[in-house]
Amino acid sequence: MARSLRVGERFFRSAARPPLVLGHRGARHAAPENTFRAFELARAEGAEGVELDVRLDGSGEIVVLHDPTLARVTQGENRARVDALSTEQLRALDLGHGERIPRLVDVLAWAREHDQLLNVEVKADQRSWPALVRAVVAQLARSPQCAERVLLSSFHPLVVTWLARRLPDFPVCWLVHGGQRVLRSAPGFRRLGAIGVNPEHTLLEPERVASWKRNGALLATWTVNDPERAVHAAALGVDAIITDRPGAVRAALHETVAPARPTP
């Protein structure tokens, strides 16, 4: 009988390899972020997967975009809110190099085809976030085979809890940035139902990382673009590194990082 996998198994660092490398919104150093061009470039540079952001458009479709408006990705030419435009209107936009705004369902299919891992950040910066969570839950409930390759994350504690309760077979991590002082102690992620923490790299202090790991946390740190800093993060014991420069970071890790040591 095949061994059953623990939730998030493929994201945890094994003793035989360096941390995973996940392209931050793809390989955004050389392609429009959160597009298939960026995702394919990250894969070509050796990343095991990509990190991406999702929110709802005006049609109720889950689309892959970081910001609530189009201002930044269109260089100010279009300042419309994402949730005010239909899927068709969004798909008509050229983000550069002919790239279009992807739908989550299409990215899931791409990841299955190419055996890529996905870290899907569920944005919670608008009052409509409960509708987004319900849509994500419904989408992934229809795609249970994605559980081994999809990691969900959010800065919002309630979103983390909702996702963990409604999608128990999918790993969920709590996103933490350096300004969240109250969240800098380790074990709180367990109370939310998360399997780990996605900490900003500035939070990677040895004692804190050791405490997280003692509590069994999956650690995927962001956004690490300096290869030397990536090597340092790996030495502390993180499981995955999210970066804009997957090729450079992966090369540094595979040249210098020893296999992971077992957690005490």
Average per-residue pLDDT for the chain: 93
Q: Specify the pTM.
A: 0.94
Answer for the pair 139, 109: CB distance below 8 angstroms, yes or no: no
Lowest mean pLDDT among 54-63, 187-196, 240-249: 187-196
Structure confidence by residue, pLDDT tens digits, 130-162: 999 999 999 999 999 999 999 999 999 999 999
d(C-alpha 230, C-alpha 106), whole Å: 30
- Answer yes or no: is pLDDT of 185 > 70: no
Structure confidence by residue, pLDDT tens digits, 19-44: 999 999 999 999 999 999 999 999 99
Residue 22's closest CA among 1, 53, 58? 53
Task: With H, G, I as helix, E, B as strand and everything else as coil, classify residue 186.
Answer: coil
Q: Which CATH architecture has domain 9-53+115-256?
A: Alpha-Beta Barrel (3.20)
Structure confidence by residue, pLDDT tens digits, 231-258: 999 999 999 999 999 999 999 999 987 5
- Please, is 168 exposed, middle or buried when counting C-beta atoms within 10 Å of its C-beta (0-12, 13-18, 19+)? exposed
d(C-alpha 8, C-alpha 258), whole Å: 22
Model pLDDT, residue 50: 99
Half-sphere exposure of 156 (CA within 13 A, CB side): 15
Give the start-to-end residue ranges of the domains of the chain: 9-53+115-256
Question: In 36-76, where do the E strands start and end?
Answer: 49-56, 62-64
d(C-alpha 109, C-alpha 112), whole Å: 5
Model pLDDT, residue 233: 98
